[in-house]
């Protein structure tokens, strides 16, 4: 047991204890106490994570045997230990999860204050359980522990989306999220089975070292594809993304924590973690890149026409996740993780800001009824503006650095990726500032009797901290272009040991020279600024009365490309029809008859057998004699080889 | 040796305690103390050496690690049985001490069956095992059903003993010895195989099938189990049955050579198939839980016979797990049943509301009997079927049948759960004839926990096989 | 070579067959001879079913005292056990003190059983 392993288990244990206390004591604890326990658990975890981060940056790692706590599943020679692996990648995720998680817990104490005591405690119990599962997911040293966390976060996501379970739509959204995730999970499970079958272990380091020596094979491709299916479900990529917008039914802090900052990035974590396997499967890599790119553009286009403030953010999340997958697909693992981090900050900020607005507007989520909130909510306004600038990619805010790192890497891989990606980024800038303008600028379009007001301290505290992070987090990943120093990218240096194997296996793309890079940056920033100005100008004068029914292409966008309808027509309706056929014809005529028939036969046999049990000893002995004779006959006269 | 001698002596002690102690409770306490001592003695024997070293008896009785382990299991199961059902034994009749004495004699017989090396000892063991059971079955002297069951059991038992003796005689005639190892050794070199030997083994097979109540030699079982006082049914269906199965294995392990494995497996597979079918299918239709359990014990014996089918390490390990988890579960259910007013399924209606602890423990027992994972019963069935598959994988039909029968068994076992949790109690009569003590549910839950422990970590039991 | 191995052909069973035949003929002959030679005086007592000396009155299926059978059974039991003394008497010297100890143990059990049935009241003739 190294020092680190004694520290490591503390990180998930705090939220677990918080979950147990809040979950079991939900009828007894006061709201204040629940809030303190829930947030306090996260604070302790965060402090522990910082300690771990210090140790890891000093070079101490928890890998292999040292991280084994006990044998979890063991039969024959096959062993799945309950083990943690703490390396650079994990430590970054730990910081993000517990840090952002802590802020969101603090924010929630005030956002959820209207709930009754028991429901308030239930909320925090779920939230703590979620954090626990998420920590398990990133800390596990093998795919099975990751899968436990993976399922745990899925469960908590389901529970929290359906938190207001009295509303039928919300529970349906929760079910949709669960089912869509299950489709992905199946892929993940199959991948685990393949891994067990081929490598005989699920531990990362063993698999990777074995895979490296064996080189690429079609099996690796299949495994990586299956893993990617899991990632598509959890991280809301085409075609499994539809649950994420619906998941906005949950409380807004939940959307911030689960559906923006942490859970949905689990897919990115998984692929980044498996970088060696992916590097051995180039075809999967290109698939990841293409799916990511398509999702990025596709979701961004939908976001252009949404009027629900949370829906805009939801599609934006899907789109940003697409960028991360693009980064993974072109081999920019560091870029993807960098973007996960900055995205966690600015998207959590945006969601929490949106939550603040919704809170102030008495749960009105339609942006058409906002406008001019700048006057009433100064803190929210400033922080949201920072968030929007960060996501749009304006230097020096964090999104600029991470997004451009991915886009430059995409350019290196294939300029077409870059062009499409840039197009998506422009759309991002447009819809973000459409949202910002419609909400904060112009005149107030809401009910003038209920003027909005700034949110309470715990909420603004979280907003301010996240805004600072969103503003400055980019500086840990300055490109070489600015520093003129290959060692200048702090994050890349830090993560290098994790990705060195994967990157070594990848075919090197020629990094574009400095001139090209400058041009690309200038083009993208210039275009984005132009788009922002256009968006602000267009929507500053927005009037509810002038809003025409969308026509033509914008109608398609407003209706989200009719994806839900297409799924309904192509998949659900036929399945229902098949189900109907099975239910009405095969089930009743065939299976029911067969099953009932078997049941009847057993019943009939049972009654007949009962007659044999006549109670007459003479009969019994007779049957025994006959049986012995039959046995003798078999023994002596049956021809045997 | 500890098991045989100490249980026989305990039996004598119990006989005399009946003469001098008038309080029934005290008698139960004495019996419990003795059985605990007996379990400790068997454990000591498993761990170290026997307390009684009688080299002259080697030709008659030879203990093996496996037999010792089963001895421990039997005594532990009996301990739980005494503790859980002591009060019910006291309610059967006047001669409480004698009942206990008889049960100790049964254990002595079981001890002989676990270690016999000689066919004479097999015969003696079987007789010592069964004769007390005839008396226990008829313990309720005023109850006609009990008398009838006892007489039936006696008649049919005598018949099967006759068959067994005939078999032993034929084998002696052919091989010239009663000693199992001599018989086994001779049979290996005998070509052609002596017809009398084959016939003798077949008769032994039939009579052992009778003892473990394998179909079609099972007809005594439902009548006897149903007629006997419920507490004694519990004892017969568990401890006695496991001992008989182990004797079955021990008898044929070394001496079935002349059959050729393939022929042997045909015979045993027929027995298993009949047993599973008859046990399960007939159990479906029963209204009385007691009778249902009688049939289910037949089907459970069918699974245990896979060890006789296979004769491999899996089978032995399986019997260890199966024997303990099945015995504990059945003893648990019977201990509740023998306290109940109404022993049909309706008697269980609404039990969960009044006695949640008891209902929970019963649920675990039923799950274990049905072979649901996480319980010892599941592992037992799993081991048994894999033992069969490991020894001869061409009997796919048999394994599928076994699994289907397990599925059928879920139906009638779960009726208990259904009655306890999902049905309302209609009548006002209390569930139990006598008030249950506070410790009873706790004890039941301890037993249930043990079953789950075996299901999760069978290693704690199996490690002793490979000392 | 064991007995049955030597006698396993049908021809070798001839002596047994002869013995069977002799036995059957002897019994049948004796019955026949006594039938023909013996005097026949049929009294009502003689034509009654033999009922172990108990007078046969009415239905045979009425309950009766079990004491007689109990004592008889106990007699047989103890009788059989006493038989074990004969081989011991023959080997008295060669078995020595160890044998004596074993027999003492046997006798102790024997008396324990006797004491038990005595205390249980199995030998009490009067109710």
**Total domain count, chain C:** 2
For the record, the structure tokens of A110 come out as 């005030």
- For residue B306, tell me if it sits in a domain: yes
Put simply, the answer to whether B156 touches A623 (Cβ < 8 Å) is no
| Contact present, A289 and A326 (Cβ < 8 Å) | yes
C64 lies in the same domain as C119: yes
Least confident range of A515-519, B114-118, B172-176, B440-444 = A515-519
Mean pLDDT of all residues in chain C?
A: 81
Residues in C closer than 8 angstroms to B15, CB to CB, are 116
pLDDT band at B136 (very low <50, low <70, confident <90, very high): very high
* DSSP codes joined into one string, A263-303: GGGHHHHHHHHTHHHHHT-HHHHHHHHHHHHHHHHHHHHHH
Q: How distant is the Cα of B32 from the closest Cα of chain C, in angstroms?
A: 22
pLDDT band at A586 (very low <50, low <70, confident <90, very high): confident
pLDDT, tens digit, 9 for 90 and up, residues A172-204: 888 888 888 888 888 899 999 998 888 888 888
pLDDT for residue B130: 94
Residues in B closer than 8 angstroms to A641, CB to CB, are 262
Put simply, the answer to whether B176 touches C2 (Cβ < 8 Å) is yes
Element (H, E) at B98: helix B96-115
pLDDT higher than 50, residue B309: yes
Mean pLDDT of all residues in chain A?
A: 83
pLDDT, tens digit, 9 for 90 and up, residues A439-460: 888 777 777 777 777 888 888 8
| Residues above pLDDT 70, as percent of chain A | 94
Mutation for testing the B interface, residue in C120, C121, C122 having most B CBs under 10 Å: C120
Residues in B closer than 8 angstroms to C112, CB to CB, are 12, 16
Element (H, E) at A72: strand A68-75
pLDDT, tens digit, 9 for 90 and up, residues A402-442: 888 888 888 888 888 888 888 888 888 888 888 888 888 87
Mean pLDDT of A71-95: 84
Residues in C closer than 8 angstroms to B19, CB to CB, are 116, 119-120
pLDDT band at A641 (very low <50, low <70, confident <90, very high): very low
Residues in B closer than 8 angstroms to C5, CB to CB, are 176
User: Beta partners for B340?
Assistant: B432
pLDDT for residue C35: 87
The answer to whether A610 contacts chain B (CB < 8 Å) is: yes
Q: How distant is the Cα of C16 from the closest Cα of chain B, in angstroms?
A: 16
Handedness of CA B254, B257, B263, B267 (dihedral sign): negative
Residues in B closer than 8 angstroms to A638, CB to CB, are 263, 266
Nearest in space to B203 (alpha carbons), one of B145, B260, B164, B155: B164
A396 cis-preceded (ω within 30 degrees of 0): yes
Residues in B closer than 8 angstroms to C116, CB to CB, are 15-16, 19
pLDDT, tens digit, 9 for 90 and up, residues C12-61: 778 888 999 999 999 999 999 988 888 877 787 777 777 666 666 667 67
pLDDT for residue B168: 93
pLDDT for residue A166: 82
C62 lies in the same domain as C19: no
Q: How distant is the Cα of C4 from the closest Cα of chain B, in angstroms?
A: 6
Chains A and C touching, counted as 3 or more CB pairs less than 8 Å apart: no
Put simply, the answer to whether C120 touches B12 (Cβ < 8 Å) is no
pLDDT for residue C1: 44
Put simply, the answer to whether A628 touches B203 (Cβ < 8 Å) is yes
Mutation for testing the A interface, residue in B282, B406, B407, B408 having most A CBs under 10 Å: B282
Residues in C closer than 8 angstroms to B173, CB to CB, are 2-4
Q: Which residues of B59-72 are buried (b: 16+ CB within 10 A; e: fewer)?
A: ebbbbeebbbbbbb
- Segment of A387-401, A624-638, B92-106 carrying the highest mean pLDDT: B92-106
C21 lies in the same domain as C81: no
Mutation for testing the A interface, residue in B285, B374, B415 having most A CBs under 10 Å: B285
Put simply, the answer to whether C120 touches B16 (Cβ < 8 Å) is no
Nearest in space to A561 (alpha carbons), one of A255, A259, A292, A315: A315
C122 lies in the same domain as C66: yes
| Contact present, A429 and A420 (Cβ < 8 Å) | no
pLDDT for residue B122: 93
Put simply, the answer to whether C112 touches B16 (Cβ < 8 Å) is yes
- For residue B348, tell me if it sits in a domain: yes
List the single residue in B160, B217, B282 with the smallest CB-CB distance to A609. Answer: B282
| Residues above pLDDT 70, as percent of chain B | 98
List the single residue in C3, C5, C116 with the smallest CB-CB distance to B15. Answer: C116
C10 lies in the same domain as C36: yes
Mean pLDDT of all residues in chain B?
A: 89
Number of neighbouring beta carbons within 10 Å of residue B449: 12
Mutation for testing the B interface, residue in A600, A625, A635 having most B CBs under 10 Å: A635
Least confident range of A483-492, B112-121, B293-302 = A483-492
Least confident range of A79-83, B155-159, C56-60 = C56-60
How would you write A161-195 as a 3-class SS string? Answer: HCCCCCCHHHHHHHHHHHHHHHHHHHHHHHHHHHH
Put simply, the answer to whether C4 touches B174 (Cβ < 8 Å) is yes
C32 lies in the same domain as C80: no
Put simply, the answer to whether C116 touches B174 (Cβ < 8 Å) is no
Q: How distant is the Cα of B138 from the closest Cα of chain C, in angstroms?
A: 17
Put simply, the answer to whether A638 touches B266 (Cβ < 8 Å) is yes
pLDDT for residue C8: 61
pLDDT for residue C54: 66
C26 lies in the same domain as C61: no
pLDDT band at A207 (very low <50, low <70, confident <90, very high): confident
Q: Which residue of B has its CA nearest to C116?
A: B16
ipTM of this predicted structure: 0.88
* Host domain of residue C126: 57-127
**Total domain count, chain B:** 1
C76 lies in the same domain as C126: yes
Q: What sections of A304-332 are H helices per DSSP?
A: 309-329
pLDDT for residue A549: 65
Mutation for testing the B interface, residue in A70, A595, A598, A602 having most B CBs under 10 Å: A602
- For residue B38, tell me if it sits in a domain: no
List CB contacts of A477: < 8 A, sequence separation 6 or more. Answer: A334, A338, A401, A402, A405, A489, A490, A491, A492
How far is B254 from A450, CA to CA, in rounded Å? Answer: 93
Q: How distant is the Cα of C106 from the closest Cα of chain B, in angstroms?
A: 13
- For residue B424, tell me if it sits in a domain: yes
C122 lies in the same domain as C80: yes
List the single residue in B15, B16, B173 with the smallest CB-CB distance to C4. Answer: B173
pLDDT, tens digit, 9 for 90 and up, residues A482-507: 766 666 677 777 877 878 877 777 76
pLDDT for residue A1: 42
C69 lies in the same domain as C117: yes
List CB contacts of A359: < 8 A, sequence separation 6 or more. Answer: A111, A252, A455, A459
Stretch 160-219 of chain B: residues touching chain A, C-beta under 8 Å: 160, 163, 195, 198-199, 202-203, 205-206, 210, 216-217, 219
Subunits in contact with chain A (3 or more CB pairs closer than 8 Å): B
How far is A311 from A435, CA to CA, in rounded Å? Answer: 11
Query: In Å, what is the CA distance from A188 to each residue of A94, A324, A349, A389, A396?
Result: 22, 19, 31, 36, 38
Mean pLDDT of A75-88: 83
What residues does each domain of chain A span? 142-550, 565-637
Mean pLDDT of A473-487: 73
Mean pLDDT of C53-73: 73
CATH number, domain at C126?
1.20.58.1610
pLDDT band at B112 (very low <50, low <70, confident <90, very high): very high
How far is A332 from A292, CA to CA, in rounded Å? Answer: 13
Residues in B closer than 8 angstroms to C120, CB to CB, are 19
- For residue B67, tell me if it sits in a domain: no
* Host domain of residue B340: 260-467
The answer to whether B54 contacts chain A (CB < 8 Å) is: no
pLDDT higher than 60, residue A89: yes
pLDDT band at A83 (very low <50, low <70, confident <90, very high): confident
- For residue C50, tell me if it sits in a domain: no
Q: Nearest 10 degrees: CA dihedral of A190, A196, A202, A206?
A: -130
The answer to whether A625 contacts chain B (CB < 8 Å) is: no
C114 lies in the same domain as C65: yes
List the single residue in C3, C5, C119 with the smallest CB-CB distance to B19. Answer: C119
| Contact present, B5 and B71 (Cβ < 8 Å) | no
pLDDT higher than 60, residue A640: no
How far is A26 from A18, CA to CA, in rounded Å? Answer: 11
Chain C residues within 8 Å of chain B (Cβ atoms): 2-5, 109, 112, 116, 119-120
pLDDT band at C5 (very low <50, low <70, confident <90, very high): low
pLDDT higher than 90, residue B31: yes
Stretch 38-57 of chain A: residues touching chain B, C-beta under 8 Å: none
Mean pLDDT of C116-123: 86
C66 lies in the same domain as C5: no
pLDDT higher than 60, residue C7: no
Mean pLDDT of A269-282: 87
Mean pLDDT of C78-94: 87
List the single residue in B210, B223, B278 with the smallest CB-CB distance to A609. Answer: B278
């Amino acid at each position: 047991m190294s020092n680190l392993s004694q520290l490591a288990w503390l990180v998930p244990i705090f939220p677990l204890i918080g979950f147990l206390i809040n979950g079991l004591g939900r009828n007894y604890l006061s709201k204040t106490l629940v809030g303190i326990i829930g947030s306090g658990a996260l604070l302790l975890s965060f402090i522990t994570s910082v300690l771990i981060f210090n140790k890891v940056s000093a070079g101490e790692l928890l890998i292999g045997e040292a991280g084994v706590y006990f044998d979890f599943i063991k039969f024959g020679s096959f062993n799945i230990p309950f083990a943690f692996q703490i390396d650079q990648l994990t430590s970054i995720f730990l910081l993000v999860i517990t840090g952002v998680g802590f802020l969101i817990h603090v924010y929630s104490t005030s956002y959820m204050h209207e709930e009754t005591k028991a429901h308030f405690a239930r909320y925090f119990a779920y939230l703590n359980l979620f954090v626990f599962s998420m920590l398990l997911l990133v800390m596990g040293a093998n795919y099975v522990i990751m899968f436990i966390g993976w399922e745990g976060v899925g469960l908590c996501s389901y529970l929290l989306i359906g938190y207001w379970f009295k509303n039928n739509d919300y529970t349906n959204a929760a079910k949709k999220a669960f089912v869509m995730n299950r489709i992905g999970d199946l892929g993940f499970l199959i991948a685990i089975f393949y891994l067990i079958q081929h490598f005989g272990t699920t531990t990362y380091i063993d698999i990777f070292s074995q895979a490296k020596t064996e080189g690429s094979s079609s099996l690796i491709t299949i495994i990586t594809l299956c893993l990617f299916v899991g990632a598509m479900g959890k991280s809301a990529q085409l075609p499994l993304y539809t649950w994420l917008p619906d998941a906005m039914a949950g409380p807004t802090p939940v959307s911030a924590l689960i559906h923006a900052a942490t859970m949905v990035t689990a897919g990115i974590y998984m692929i980044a973690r498996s970088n060696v396997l992916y590097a051995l499967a180039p075809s999967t890599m290109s698939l990841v890149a293409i799916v990511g790119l398509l999702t990025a553009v596709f979701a961004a286009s939908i976001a252009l026409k949404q009027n629900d403030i949370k829906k805009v953010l939801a599609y934006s999340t899907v789109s940003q996740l697409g960028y991360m997958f693009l980064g993974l697909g072109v081999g920019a693992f560091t870029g993807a993780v960098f973007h996960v981090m900055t995205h966690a900050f600015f998207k959590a900020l945006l969601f929490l800001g949106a939550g603040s607005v919704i809170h102030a507007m008495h749960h009105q989520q339609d942006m058409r009824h906002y406008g001019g909130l700048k006057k009433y909510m100064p803190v929210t306004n400033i922080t949201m503006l920072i968030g929007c600038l960060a996501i749009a990619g304006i230097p020096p805010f964090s999104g600029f650095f991470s997004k451009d790192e991915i886009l430059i890497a995409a350019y290196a891989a294939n300029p077409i990726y870059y062009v499409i990606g840039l197009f998506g980024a422009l759309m991002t800038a447009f819809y973000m500032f459409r949202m910002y303008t419609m909400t904060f600028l112009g005149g107030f379009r809401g009910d003038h009797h209920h003027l909005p007001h700034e949110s309470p301290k715990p909420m603004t505290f979280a907003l301010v901290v996240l805004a600072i992070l969103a503003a400055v987090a980019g500086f840990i990943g300055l490109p070489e272009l600015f520093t003129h120093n290959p060692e200048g990218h702090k994050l890349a240096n830090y993560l290098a040991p994790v990705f060195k194997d994967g990157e070594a296996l990848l075919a090197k793309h020629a990094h574009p020279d400095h001139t090209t890079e400058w041009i690309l940056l200038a083009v993208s920033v210039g275009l984005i600024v132009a788009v922002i100005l256009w968006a602000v100008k267009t929507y500053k004068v927005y009037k509810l009365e002038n809003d025409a029914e969308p026509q033509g292409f914008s109608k398609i966008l407003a209706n989200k490309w009719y994806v839900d309808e297409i799924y309904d027509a192509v998949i659900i309706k036929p399945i229902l029809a098949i189900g109907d056929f099975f239910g009405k014809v095969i089930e009743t005529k065939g299976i029911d008859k067969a099953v009932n028939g078997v049941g009847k036969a057993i019943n009939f046999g049972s009654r007949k057998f009962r007659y044999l049990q006549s109670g007459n000893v003479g009969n019994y002995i007779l049957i025994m004699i006959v049986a012995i004779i039959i046995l003798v006959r078999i023994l002596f006269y049956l021809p045997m080889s | 040796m500890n098991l045989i001698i100490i249980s026989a002596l305990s039996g004598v002690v119990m006989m005399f305690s009946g003469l001098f102690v008038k309080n029934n409770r005290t008698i139960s306490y004495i019996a419990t103390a003795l059985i605990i001592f007996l379990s400790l003695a068997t454990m000591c024997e498993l761990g170290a050496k026997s307390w009684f070293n009688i080299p002259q008896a080697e030709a008659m009785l030879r203990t093996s690690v496996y037999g010792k382990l089963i001895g421990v299991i039997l005594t532990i199961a009996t301990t739980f049985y005494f503790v859980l059902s002591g009060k019910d034994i006291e309610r059967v009749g006047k001669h409480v001490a004698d009942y206990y004495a008889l049960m100790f004699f049964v254990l002595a017989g079981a001890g002989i069956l676990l270690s016999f090396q000689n066919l004479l000892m097999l015969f003696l063991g079987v007789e010592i095992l069964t004769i007390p059971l005839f008396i226990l079955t008829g313990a309720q002297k005023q109850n006609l059903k009990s008398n009838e069951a006892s007489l039936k059991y006696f008649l049919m038992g005598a018949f099967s003993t006759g068959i067994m003796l005939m078999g032993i005689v034929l084998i002696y005639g052919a091989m010239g010895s009663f000693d199992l190892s001599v018989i086994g050794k001779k049979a290996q070199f005998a070509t052609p195989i002596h017809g009398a030997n084959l016939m003798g083994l077949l008769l032994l097979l039939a009579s052992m099938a009778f003892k473990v109540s394998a179909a079609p030699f099972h007809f005594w079982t439902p009548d006897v189990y149903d007629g006997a006082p419920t507490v004694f049914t519990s004892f017969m269906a568990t401890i006695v049955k496991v001992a008989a199965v182990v004797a079955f294995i021990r008898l044929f392990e070394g001496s079935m050579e002349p059959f050729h494995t393939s022929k042997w497996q045909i015979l045993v597979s027929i027995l298993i198939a009949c047993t599973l079918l008859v046990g399960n299918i007939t159990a479906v239709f029963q209204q009385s839980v007691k009778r249902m359990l009688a049939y289910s014990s037949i089907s459970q014996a069918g699974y245990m016979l896979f060890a006789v089918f296979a004769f491999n390490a899996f089978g032995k390990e399986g019997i260890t797990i199966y024997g303990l988890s099945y015995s504990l579960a059945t003893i648990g259910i019977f201990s509740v049943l023998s306290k109940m007013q109404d022993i049909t399924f309706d008697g269980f209606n609404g039990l969960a509301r009044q006695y949640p602890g008891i209902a929970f423990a019963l649920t675990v027992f039923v799950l274990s009997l049905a072979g649901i994972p996480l319980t010892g019963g599941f592992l037992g069935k799993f081991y048994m079927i894999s033992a069969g598959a490991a020894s001869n994988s061409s009997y796919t039909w048999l394994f599928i049948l076994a699994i289907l029968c397990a599925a059928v068994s879920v139906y009638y076992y779960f009726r208990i759960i259904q009655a306890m949790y999902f049905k309302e109690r209609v009548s006002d009569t209390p569930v139990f004839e006598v008030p249950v003590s506070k410790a009873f549910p706790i004890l039941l839950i301890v037993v249930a926990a043990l079953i789950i422990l075996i299901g999760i970590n069978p290693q704690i039991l199996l490690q002793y096989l490979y000392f | 070579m064991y007995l049955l191995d030597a006698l396993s052909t049908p021809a070798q069973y001839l002596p047994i067959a002869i013995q069977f035949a002799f036995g059957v003929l002897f019994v049948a002959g004796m019955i026949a001879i006594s039938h023909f030679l013996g005097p026949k005086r049929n009294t009502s007592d003689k034509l009654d079913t033999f009922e172990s000396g108990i007078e046969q009155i009415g239905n045979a299926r009425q309950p009766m005292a079990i004491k007689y059978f109990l004592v008889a059974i106990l007699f047989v039991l103890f009788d059989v056990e006493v038989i074990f003394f004969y081989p011991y008497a023959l080997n008295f010297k060669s078995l020595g003190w160890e044998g004596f100890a074993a027999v003492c143990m046997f006798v102790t059990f024997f008396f324990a059983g006797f004491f038990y049935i005595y205390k249980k009241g199995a030998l009490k003739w009067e109710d």
